[in-house]
Amino acid sequence: MPSIAPSKIIKYTNCRLVRAGAIVRDDLWVRGGRIVNPEPVFFDEQVQADATVDCSDALICPGFIDIQINGGFGYDFSSDVGKLEEAVSTVAKGVLATGVTSFCPTVVTSPCSVYHEVLPKLKRTPGGKEGAGILGIHLEGPFINPEKKGAHPLECIQKVEGINKIHNIYGDLGNVALVTIAPELPGALEVIRHLTSQGIKVSVGHSKGNLEEGEAAVNHGASFITHLFNAMLPFHHRDPGLVGLLTSQFIPRPVHYGIIADGIHTHPAALRIAHRTHPKGLVLVTDAMAAMGLGEGHHCIGQMQVLVEGRQAQVVGTNTLAGSIATMDDCVRHFIKEAGVTVVEGIEAASLHPAQVMGVTHSKGTLDFGTDADFLLLCDKGPLRVLNTFIAGECVAGPSLTPHTIKTPRVVLAK
């Protein structure tokens, strides 16, 4: 797209917008990297758009947000410590074509030295042509239940033992946005309350916790469930476990929950059950690891070696799943098809809902006026397909779009 001054107004026309839970036919106006309300621009400022872009009836939606991604394209955030800048740059750039405009690089259970080296370097960034923005780090472990460790190394799992232990293990928490912890661990509730008081979101997961322990965690500030159904007790009619949080009457607010909709981690029936039980809480996550974008072969996730065969990644020598190789647009398509949800519901699970979890709906996750112009042009004729990805109003992935510059005077109303 040719360069247009940041103060200029671009109008995207001949399009449909995902807005307020529906698809509406309307134009999208962008100025200074934000979505603007055209009415005051036209009537108060008495100006019109500087340029228009014909979207050829594309669907425009908010950019996708992935709050659990371990790496991709050959890189792992927890093990490629010596080339972390290269890893982040490669993943941030690579996910643009999949519709992801913001993400939380996820660091799995690791030695203490890894946290102290990695956490200060994974800084929040706004995103742009160089890659998707970083909303903050997701720490998945090491304060998890060893019996539900999944692809986390047993020798690195830690007991909680108080707030000081958390700070000693992690070191600098300034770049951390989300922490996964097993709520049943002694001392976990105190830590959950402390972390949330510092503005850090807390998720429950990798846990043998029962429903009461999950409810206690939420009552102390937890607001998310890490990859529902995976690495937790299965639903039981006498003790539904953490899954029961979806319908609990003893928590102050409904929780959100992550789902890996890759066709491997979660059966379509489980997707449908979760969605129909609590549709507004479902958050699509990729849980992608280094093999995303590469395919079969040997890879790693944190300290663990992984073998990818077909679409399935497993810890070498076991049948334990070790993240996924799915991209976010894959997950959205799979969710729409297998759960029988609408396109809007599929999109909101990858945009609005994760923005709600992270507390950034004032700037991300919607096409509301005043929010960041992070949006996608999609083809919804057939399986959903990402055509173009925009961050702050700039096309960062997809074929170039040529705006038509308005040649009439910008002043449209007599003063």
All residues at 6 or more sequence positions from 186 whose CB lies less than 8 Å from its CB, including other chains: 159, 160, 161
Record the tokens describing residue 409, joined without a space. Answer: 């005077």
Q: According to the annotation, is 155 in a ligand binding site?
A: no
Q: According to the annotation, is 151 in a ligand binding site?
A: yes
Q: According to the annotation, is 20 in a ligand binding site?
A: no
Q: Which of 287, 330, 372, 374 is catalytic?
A: 287
φ/ψ of residue 218, rounded to 5: -65, -40
Q: According to the annotation, is 238 in a ligand binding site?
A: yes
Helix (H, G, I), strand (E, B) or coil at 290: coil
Q: For the chain, how many residues are written? A: 415
Q: According to the annotation, is 206 in a ligand binding site?
A: yes
Under 8 Å between Cβ of 166 and 119? no
State the Cα–Cα distance between residues 61 and 409, nearest whole angstrom: 31
State the Cα–Cα distance between residues 310 and 30, nearest whole angstrom: 42
φ/ψ of residue 414, rounded to 5: -70, 140
Active site residue 57: no
All residues at 6 or more sequence positions from 74 whose CB lies less than 8 Å from its CB, including other chains: 90, 290, 293, 294, 299
Q: According to the annotation, is 231 in a ligand binding site?
A: yes
Candidates 115, 97, 94, 98; CA nearest to 106 is: 115
Q: According to the annotation, is 220 in a ligand binding site?
A: no
Record the tokens describing residue 219, joined without a space. Answer: 């009552």
State the Cα–Cα distance between residues 211 and 109, nearest whole angstrom: 24
Q: According to the annotation, is 228 in a ligand binding site?
A: no
State the Cα–Cα distance between residues 246 and 93, nearest whole angstrom: 35
Q: According to the annotation, is 230 in a ligand binding site?
A: yes
List, as residue ranges, the binding site for Zn(2+).
140, 206, 227
List, as residue ranges, the binding site for substrate.
151, 230-231, 238, 265, 321-323
What is the set of active-site residues? 287
List, as residue ranges, the binding site.
140, 151, 206, 227, 230-231, 238, 265, 321-323
